[in-house]
Amino acid sequence: MKVLTALLSFALLTSAALAQNPSKLPSATVQTLEGKKVDTRTLNNDGKPMIINFWATWCAPCKKELNAIAEKYAQWQKETGVKLVAVSIDDARSMNRVKPYVNGQDWDYEVYLDPNGDLKRALNVNNVPHTFLVNGKGEIVWQHNNYEPGDENELYRKVLELVGRK
């Protein structure tokens, strides 16, 4: 009975969710590597697409994904103006390692720290890597939870669709 009630209320609520418009980025506070606080609702890329990628220094597939994209990032930016925002969910244990790691990898991403998972929870991320694609109006139009070599090509196809080039 308890489970049934839970499921019913869940179904009721999800059906409401399915009827809604594309969603905007939620409001949560993240930090830059310089310690400045940023409200995630203000993240934008001047009307061009933006990739939001959740990762951690202890997550092997996450690092593979960001390294794979790093090799193509300059070309992606040139062709579509896309920006990648890498949100690290490293907590107090490893957040101090993020800046030297990011520089050591020679990445050019915009990196934020989400040490207590505020943005992770607000976007309902279960585990990393988890990638969201945001269009020029700030709406989340696509997401993917996992990384397999080649997934970056799928992601880029979606970016090209957004800028009207296929």
How many angstroms separate the CA atoms of 133 and 64, rounded? 18
Judged by CB under 8 A, the chain residues 46 through 65 that form the site for other proteins are: 57-60, 64
75 binds other proteins (CB under 8 A): no
Looking only at the bridges linking them, the beta strands covering 37-39 and 140-145 are unpaired
Packing angle, helices 151-162 and 60-80, rounded to 10: 30
3-class secondary structure, 97? helix
84 binds other proteins (CB under 8 A): no
Question: Looking at beta carbons only, is 68 or 163 nearer to other proteins?
Answer: 68
| Six token digits for residue 64 | 């593979």
Question: Looking at beta carbons only, is 75 or 153 nearer to other proteins?
Answer: 153
Residue of the chain from 95, 134, 159, 162 that contacts other proteins (CB under 8 A):
95
96 binds other proteins (CB under 8 A): yes
CA-nearest of 71, 65, 104 to 86 is 65
Which residue type is seen at 81? G
Residue of the chain from 80, 97, 138, 160 that contacts other proteins (CB under 8 A):
97
CA-nearest of 147, 150, 166 to 158 is 166
How many angstroms separate the CA atoms of 67 and 53, rounded? 12
Question: Looking at beta carbons only, is 31 or 80 nearer to other proteins?
Answer: 31
Residue of the chain from 119, 151, 159, 162 that contacts other proteins (CB under 8 A):
151
Q: Which residues bind other proteins (CB under 8 A)?
A: 1-3, 5-6, 9-10, 12-14, 16-18, 20-21, 23-24, 26-27, 33-37, 57-60, 64, 91-97, 99-106, 115-118, 121-127, 130, 142-146, 148-151, 153-154
